[in-house]
Each structure stands twice: as structure tokens, then as C-alpha cells.
């Protein structure tokens, strides 16, 4: 007699089949999903190839437009603007957009069946992610040469393009709004509270009124540079000038995910130290386009405006930090940005980029305004030192042909006032003589920074020496906010300079006669720029020189001071980083 399966045997079979189903179903679904993604990406690549072929055809027929845009909705394609014809047989995505720029680069954001495929102009491959349709948007513009060190914006910041006459327009961040290969650096602004929401929702190309702007910033992308002079064998000629040794600085941009280059010798590569902020590796920094302007109640960064001066260093630093305070008028969120006073190393990062193929790669024209108007340029290079006459007012504004020469790029997109104008204090100070990595406050009880700390020369300037330390000021901030230099007594002991800060690498050095009366000063081998380093009596760095420095002015000029507020020709600059 033929027997069937028992109930237990049937249950066992069912359990086994269920286990197989549990194991197999995800595998099968993954295979199906991967097949869908593969098919979607294949279609996307086919459309991109068709767009590139269409662009090539438009070149032949001489019909290329500045920008061609296609939109997709419900599987249908619509030409929004431009005249590049794109023909293909593949299925359209459910929704999305495609842009073809003036160089034939293609950017896409395609959505279909729960997946979003995107590609920026600079990317060579598409990226596909599972997401909601409304979140599938076009990636921001990126430039291939930056290698991922693209401008980063935060809440309150508006990307802009600045036309040659100074007109400011809201940038289209999906399309080319900067071009470092063509020496056009990225700019962004902060605007007042009453107009902020209007501009944030405005279309690209909207003109932004000058009286709505509070501050201008310029993006310095992260980079490594080739050390051309490690400073180990510099000379100091005490009787004559050194031979000129300016050269184009080799720079390669890199993202903060790239392994750091840590060279320390001539010919080696070094990721510029300015892009390490405490323990954080930055993708770049936003630097004030002009010297700081405004008042202690309302700090700004504006052109054609008197720079903010007569402040001690701790006040300069405190004001720079206050820009991100809760309830600030700038629209910045403290959790998303860090604002601070420029450090010496950050100055060096700008100076080196300016003297690469991505910057002016030449001497920057100095600001000769004796009334300290920002963004100005002298009509001619100075020929003498302190007796070089200045100009009351602004001889050439930043938005003029001569004015461009005072920019780090030689055009309106760069940074101004880094030669002449006001001296600029930077957050860079010498340690005290205890060699315990503790910064000095200043010279004496009369002339100091306002930070708590020992004084370098308590008896200088006829002081009785009874006060050797400032204790009623404010404490120094976290060490990430300042550069600390070894203790020294000589202003020409350049060995205490650092790679990247535009001091030690500018050797050789020598003495220069700057006036017909025989007055002299020490200079570097770069553009006759004055070069001195911090000492016990002047423990704080300043950069750029002032209108009074004449021929000794320059982006590579370095000097030292005591941090006091009495100086009427000393200002400062702001830096903003993205958290």
C-alpha cells in the first residue's frame, strides 16, 4: 500500500521552503534592483553621450548657445533654453533636468522608479541613489581643476558674480559662477535682514543692491604647493639688497578627503597648513574681500569705505568672532560656521595662491589711500619708501582697470587691500621666554593686545617695569585661532618663520636703502617687500604694509607690532570657515 507524507514531514518541507524564500527573496530583489539601476544608468549615459554629440554638432554648425537646458516631466522632454539638439532612442526618465554648458560639459538630475541619478559638470561618472522624487535635484557647479575643493556655502551666504563695473548679481550655482583656471575666484556675500529672504528666493541674475550688502568674501580652495625654498640655507646680507627670486608657485588643488602631503624640504609637496583648523581638515576658507570696515557695533567688509582701525588685537578678534553670535544681523548660524580674525598662515595661503597660475602671478598694486579707503589702487608703483606720497581719497577704485591691479587675481574677483592701505594685524604671536608655548600679550602695560599674558619688555617706553603681566584682560582663545612663533630677540632671525606663512620661504634677505637720506630697512628677495619678524618688544605680526611704506608695501610684506589700539593705520581681516 502506498503511503503519503506525514503531517510532520509536510510541515518540515514548508519550513524549509520558507527559509529558502527568506534567503532568496532579498537576493532576487537585489538582483532586480541592480538591474534596474544598471538599466537606468545605461540610459543616462546614452542621453549624456547624445548631448555631447549634439554639442559637437552645434560647434560645427556654429550654433552653440551659452547654456542649453532640457526638463523632463511624466516621461516627456521639453527644451527650456538653448539650441543644442539632443537625439537618442533611449527612454526618457520620469522627471529631471539636463544642462549643457558653453564648454560642452553635461550635468544631469534624472529620476525614475524611486532612484535619482546625478552627474555634475566635472564628474566623469553618474551617481545613483534611492530617494524621493522631490529630493532629486541638480548638483552644484564644480570645476574639474579644484579636485573637489569647491566653494561651500552656509546659511545666510549668497553666491554671487561680480561684473567688471562692480555690479553684484546672484549666481546660478548650478552653472559656471567661478573659474579658477581663468583666475576668476568664487565670491559670496552677506546681506541685511530686511532684504535677505528676498534675495535668497530671487532668481539667478538678480542684481543685489550695494546698500543691502554687509560683507564680501572670496573662496580660497584647499591646495598643496611645491616647496621652492625650505629656508634652511637662507642668507641675510647686512650691507646690500638680495637678488630678486620671485617665481610662479606650483599649486595643485585637493579636497579634504585627500591624503595630506607633508613635505618639509625644497622640491617636496606640502598641503598648505592654513587648511588645518585645529583638528579639522577644511576644504577651503572664505576670506574677507577687503579690509574690515564698519564700526564696533556693526562690522562690515565693503569697498569704497574707510577701514576699521584704532583697536587692540583682542577687540579685533572679538569682533570677528561676534559675527556668528546668536541673533546676529548677518544670517549666520554659529553651529554651521566659524568666523575669526585672519591668521598669519591664512594670509600666506592667499599670498601663495595669488602668485600661482591661478592668481595675478605678479606684484600686486598697493593701496595708496591716506584716508584708508578700501579697494583702492595707486596709479603708479612707488619708487621710494616712507616719503612716497599717498592720495587723499581713492585714486583708482576697485572696479576700474587700474583698480583690478590691486586684486590677487588682476581682476575684480580677487581679494583687495593686501598691499598698502592699512597695516593688517593677524592672529600670530610670539611665545614668551618660558618656552612653554604660552603667547605674549604685548610689549608692556601701556602697549599690549589686551589678552592676558606676560609682557615682553615691561620697562620699555619709560615704564617702571612693575607690571610684568596682563591679568585683567581676556584670556587667549583656543590655539586653533592663532599661530604661535618661537621666542626671539632679533627681527631678522627669519629661521623662526614657518613653511606656508610667506616669511622664511622668501629668502634670501638683505638691507635696502629706501630714502635719499640713507634710511634703510630689511627686505626679502620678493618684490623689495619689507621683511621683519616678531621680537620680545613687538610680538605680534602685521602684514601687507601701509600706505606709508611706499616701495616696501606688498602682499609678501611682514612686520611686527605690540598689539596696541593707538595705531591709526592698522586694521584687520576676517575669515569664515564652514563647519
pLDDT of residue 73: 95
What's the pLDDT tens digit per position in 95-108?
Answer: 999 999 888 999 99
Cα end-to-end span (Å), the chain: 81
Share of the chain above pLDDT 70, in %: 96
State yes or no: pLDDT of 31 exceeds 80: no
pLDDT of residue 433: 85
Residues 6+ apart with CB under 8 A from 50: 86, 87, 88
Identify the weakest region by mean pLDDT among 175-179, 230-234, 516-520.
Answer: 516-520
Average pLDDT over residues 362-372: 96
Is the pLDDT at 32 greater than 80? The verdict is no
Phi and psi based region of residue 376 (left: phi greater than 0; alpha: psi -120 to 50; beta: remaining): beta
Give 506-544 pLDDT, tens digit per residue: 999 999 887 766 778 899 999 989 999 999 999 999 999
Tens digits of per-residue pLDDT, 419-461? 999 999 999 999 998 778 999 999 999 999 999 999 999 999 9
Query: pLDDT band at 305, cuts 50/70/90?
Result: very high
**What would the grid cell of residue 454 be?**
606676560
**Is the alpha carbon torsion for 177, 180, 185, 187 positive or negative?**
positive
Q: Distance between CA 27 and CA 39 in Å, rounded?
A: 18
Q: How far apart are CA 59 and CA 73, in angstroms?
A: 29
pLDDT-based confidence at residue 35 (cuts at 50, 70, 90): low
pLDDT of residue 25: 60
Gap between the Cα atoms of 375 and 447, Å rounded: 30
268 within 8 A of 275, measured Cβ to Cβ: no
Q: What is the pLDDT of residues 460-504, one digit of tens each?
A: 998 889 999 999 999 999 999 999 999 999 999 999 999 999 999
Other beta carbons less than 10 A from residue 365's beta carbon: 27
pTM here is 0.89
Cα 476 to Cα 293, 309, 342, 480: the distances in Å are: 24, 21, 15, 11
Angle, alpha carbons 456-457-463 (nearest 5°): 140
142-168 exposure pattern, b = at least 16 Cβ within 10 A, e = fewer: bbeebbbbbbbbbebbbbbbbeeebeb
Q: State the average pLDDT over residues 360-381.
A: 96
169-178, 278-287, 447-456, 541-550: the lowest-pLDDT one: 541-550
User: How much is the mean pLDDT over the chain?
Assistant: 92
Name the pLDDT band for 3 (thresholds 50, 70, 90).
low
Give the residue-averaged pLDDT of 263-271. 97
Report residue 40's pLDDT band, with 50, 70 and 90 as the boundaries: confident
Tell me how far apart the 2 most distant CA atoms of the chain are, in Å.
130
Higher pLDDT, 35 or 553: 553
- Phi/psi-derived region of residue 418, left when phi > 0, alpha when psi is between -120 and 50, beta in every other case: alpha
The reported pLDDT for the residue numbered 160 is 98
Would you say 532 and 558 are in contact if contact means Cβ atoms under 8 Å apart?
A: yes
Amino acid at each position: 500500500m502506498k503511503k503519503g507524507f506525514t503531517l510532520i514531514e509536510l510541515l518540515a518541507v514548508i519550513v524549509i521552503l520558507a527559509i529558502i524564500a527568506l534567503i532568496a527573496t532579498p537576493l532576487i530583489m537585489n538582483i532586480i534592483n541592480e538591474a534596474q539601476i544598471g538599466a537606468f544608468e545605461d540610459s543616462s549615459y546614452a542621453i549624456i553621450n547624445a548631448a555631447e554629440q549634439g554639442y559637437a554638432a552645434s560647434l560645427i554648425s556654429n550654433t552653440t548657445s551659452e547654456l542649453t537646458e532640457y526638463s523632463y516631466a511624466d516621461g516627456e522632454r521639453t527644451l527650456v533654453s538653448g539650441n543644442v539638439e539632443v537625439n537618442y532612442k533611449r527612454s526618457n526618465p520620469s522627471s529631471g533636468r539636463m544642462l549643457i554648458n558653453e564648454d560642452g560639459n553635461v550635468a544631469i538630475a534624472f529620476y525614475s522608479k524611486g532612484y535619482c541619478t546625478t552627474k555634475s559638470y566635472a564628474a566623469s561618472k553618474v551617481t545613483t541613489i534611492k530617494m524621493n522624487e522631490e529630493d532629486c535635484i541638480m548638483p552644484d557647479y564644480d570645476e574639474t581643476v579644484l579636485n573637489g575643493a569647491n566653494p561651500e556655502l552656509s546659511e545666510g551666504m549668497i553666491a554671487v558674480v561680480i561684473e567688471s563695473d562692480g555690479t553684484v548679481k546672484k549666481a546660478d550655482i548650478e552653472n559656471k559662477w567661478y573659474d579658477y583656471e581663468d583666475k576668476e575666484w568664487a565670491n559670496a556675500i552677506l546681506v541685511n535682514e530686511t532684504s535677505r529672504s528676498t534675495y535668497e528666493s530671487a532668481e539667478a541674475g538678480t542684481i543685489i543692491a550695494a546698500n543691502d550688502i554687509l560683507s564680501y568674501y572670496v573662496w580660497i580652495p584647499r591646495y598643496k604647493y611645491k616647496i621652492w625654498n625650505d629656508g634652511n640655507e637662507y642668507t641675510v646680507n647686512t650691507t646690500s639688497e638680495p637678488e630678486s627670486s620671485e617665481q610662479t608657485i606650483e599649486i595643485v588643488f585637493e579636497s579634504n578627503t585627500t591624503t595630506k602631503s607633508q613635505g618639509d624640504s625644497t622640491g617636496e609637496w606640502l598641503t598648505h597648513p592654513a587648511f588645518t583648523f585645529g583638528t579639522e581638515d577644511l576644504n577651503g576658507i572664505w576670506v574677507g574681500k577687503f579690509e574690515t570696515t564698519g564700526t564696533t557695533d556693526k562690522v562690515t567688509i565693503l569697498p569704497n569705505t574707510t577701514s576699521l582701525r584704532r583697536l587692540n588685537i583682542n577687540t579685533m578678534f572679538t569682533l570677528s568672532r561676534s559675527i556668528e553670535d546668536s541673533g546676529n544681523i548677518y544670517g549666520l548660524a554659529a553651529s554651521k560656521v566659524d568666523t575669526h580674525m585672519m591668521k598669519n598662515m591664512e594670509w600666506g595661503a592667499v599670498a601663495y595662491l595669488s602668485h600661482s597660475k591661478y592668481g595675478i602671478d605678479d606684484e600686486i598694486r598697493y593701496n595708496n589711500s591716506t584716508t584708508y579707503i578700501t579697494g583702492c589702487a595707486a596709479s603708479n608703483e612707488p619708487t621710494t619708501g616712507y616719503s612716497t606720497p599717498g592720495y587723499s581719497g581713492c585714486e583708482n577704485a576697485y572696479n576700474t582697470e587700474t583698480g583690478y591691479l590691486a586684486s590677487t587675481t588682476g581682476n575684480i574677483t580677487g581679494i583687495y587691500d593686501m598691499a598698502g592701505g592699512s597695516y593688517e594685524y593677524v592672529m600670530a604671536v610670539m611665545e614668551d621666554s618660558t618656552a612653554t608655548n604660552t603667547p605674549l600679550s604685548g610689549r608692556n602695560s601701556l602697549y599690549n593686545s589686551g589678552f592676558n599674558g606676560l609682557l615682553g619688555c615691561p620697562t620699555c617706553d619709560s615704564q617702571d617695569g612693575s607690571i610684568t603681566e596682563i591679568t585683567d584682560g581676556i584670556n587667549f582663545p583656543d590655539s586653533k585661532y592663532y599661530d604661535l612663533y618661537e621666542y626671539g630677540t632679533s627681527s631678522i632671525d627669519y629661521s623662526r618663520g614657518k613653511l606656508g606663512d610667506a616669511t622664511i620661504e622668501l629668502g634670501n634677505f638683505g638691507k635696502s636703502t629706501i630714502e635719499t637720506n640713507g634710511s634703510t630697512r630689511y627686505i626679502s628677495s620678493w618684490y623689495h617687500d619689507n621683511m621683519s619678524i616678531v621680537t620680545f618688544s613687538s610680538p605680534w605680526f602685521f602684514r601687507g604694509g601701509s600706505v606709508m611704506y611706499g616701495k616696501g608695501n606688498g602682499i609678501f610684506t611682514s612686520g611686527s607690532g605690540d598689539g596696541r589700539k593707538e595705531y591709526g593705520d592698522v586694521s584687520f581681516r576676517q575669515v569664515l570657515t564652514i563647519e
